[in-house]
């Protein structure tokens, strides 16, 4: 079987798509953003990864299955140049409109290109209680059974401690950024806990290493969260404006959902009420509970 995956970014979305590799047999080609290549290289012997800019080098190959998880005109147009037996995902119809295959409706009905329009798509997304993996797997003809993220070996870094805090979730979703990270750091340090704020790194593998070097991560719905889920690192994740239900917790995540989630759901503007709705006390308590649970897990591992 010869499969082509088109999933460019965001990087966290690329990471959460990697469980699909466990289900696909034969040769796999993954087209992604150039910055994500280091996360895909060497994951599977049958996997070839290349940047979007080099997509023409594989366009002439025949594919048994093409999976296009992007929702852009450019990616849809590229799909139209390919030879394949089956397509899952987005493509351009005869009128040049970006649409999607019926078997991918579970995911794309909730997307920017939803056949129902954005307002209804957001309503359906808020109502949805299935994880991203579950939706994608079922549509593609597989059964999701907790298959884990595939990640490369992390780069060694000197940043380590008890709790890592990742206060920034990027410019696209400013309301993901909780208002009280600095206060949380101060309160945790008063108890003797070693807390580090994750710095920007030159490479994604260094960033992965930083997350892995800590026992607990506190962040929003972001790439560090996906790194924690993929490495089995306990994480406290705040959801101010995006769906907690799409995230499969792998048994290591404590999700804190804003009481104002419905009001600010999938909105990309900025309102301080969204970033301050979850209290400092709730997150502090969650971190302390996670620390106790982590210590219990370590003790149980040592006794066995």
List Cβ neighbours of 206 (8 Å cut-off, separation of 6 or more).
Answer: 154, 155, 157
Which has the higher per-residue pLDDT, 45 or 188? 188
- pLDDT tens per residue, range 210-228: 999 999 999 999 999 999 9
> Counting Cβ atoms within 10 Å, is residue 62 exposed (0-12), middle (13-18) or buried (19+)?
exposed
pLDDT of residue 144: 97
Which percentage of the chain shows pLDDT scores above 90? 91
Q: What is the pLDDT of residue 171?
A: 77
Q: At 31, is the pLDDT very low, low, confident or very high (cuts 50, 70, 90)? A: very high
| pLDDT recorded at residue 170 | 73
pLDDT confidence of 169, banded at 50, 70, 90? confident
Q: Show Cβ contacts of residue 99 under 8 Å, excluding neighbours closer than 6 positions.
A: 90, 91, 92, 93, 113, 115
Is pLDDT of 299 > 60? Answer: no
Task: Specify the pLDDT at position 297.
Answer: 60
pLDDT attached to residue 92: 97
Q: Please say if the pLDDT value at position 178 is more than 60.
A: yes
What is the predicted pLDDT for the residue at 293?
A: 77
Four-point Cα dihedral 64, 108, 10, 12, nearest 10: -90
pLDDT one-digit tens code per residue, 242-275: 999 999 999 999 999 999 999 999 999 999 999 9
Is it the case that residue 300 has pLDDT exceeding 80?
A: no
Q: Which residues contact residue 283 at a Cβ distance below 8 angstroms, ignoring those fewer than 6 apart?
A: 178, 180, 184, 218, 236, 238, 256
Task: Report pTM.
Answer: 0.94
Using alpha carbons, select from 192, 156, 301, 220 the residue that is nearest to residue 10. Answer: 220
Closest CA to 88 of 128, 16, 141, 10: 141
Of residues 45 and 263, the one with the higher pLDDT is 263
pLDDT at 304 over 80: no
Q: Coil, strand or helix: which one is 25?
A: coil
pLDDT of residue 109: 98
């Amino acid at each position: 079987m010869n499969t082509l995956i088109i999933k460019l970014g965001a990087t966290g979305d690329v990471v959460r798509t990697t469980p699909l590799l466990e289900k696909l047999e034969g040769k796999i080609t993954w087209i992604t953003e150039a910055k994500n290549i280091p996360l895909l290289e060497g994951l599977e012997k049958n996997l070839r990864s290349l940047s979007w800019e080099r997509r023409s080098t594989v366009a002439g190959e025949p594919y048994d299955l093409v999976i296009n998880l992007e929702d852009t005109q450019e990616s849809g147009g590229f799909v139209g140049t390919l030879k394949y037996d089956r397509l899952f995902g987005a493509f351009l119809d005869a009128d040049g409109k970006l649409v999607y295959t019926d078997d991918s409706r579970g995911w794309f009905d909730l997307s920017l290109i939803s056949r129902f329009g954005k307002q209804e798509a957001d309503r359906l997304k808020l109502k949805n209680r299935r994880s991203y993996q579950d939706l994608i797997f079922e549509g593609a003809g597989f059964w999701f059974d907790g298959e884990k993220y595939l990640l490369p070996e992390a780069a060694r870094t000197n940043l380590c401690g008890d709790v890592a805090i990742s206060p920034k979730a990027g410019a696209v979703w400013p309301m993901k950024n909780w208002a009280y990270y600095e206060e949380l750091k101060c309160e945790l340090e008063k108890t003797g806990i070693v807390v580090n704020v994750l710095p920007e790194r030159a490479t994604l593998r260094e960033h992965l290493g930083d997350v892995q070097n800590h026992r607990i991560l506190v962040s929003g719905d972001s790439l560090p969260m996906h790194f924690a889920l993929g490495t089995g690192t306990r994480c406290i994740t705040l959801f101010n404006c995006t769906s907690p239900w799409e995230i499969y917790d792998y048994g290591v995540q404590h999700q804190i959902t804003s009481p104002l989630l419905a009001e600010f759901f999938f909105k990309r503007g900025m309102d301080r009420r969204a970033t301050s709705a979850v209290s400092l006390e709730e997150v502090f308590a969650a971190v302390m509970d996670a620390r106790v649970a982590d210590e219990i897990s370590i003790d149980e591992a040592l006794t066995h």
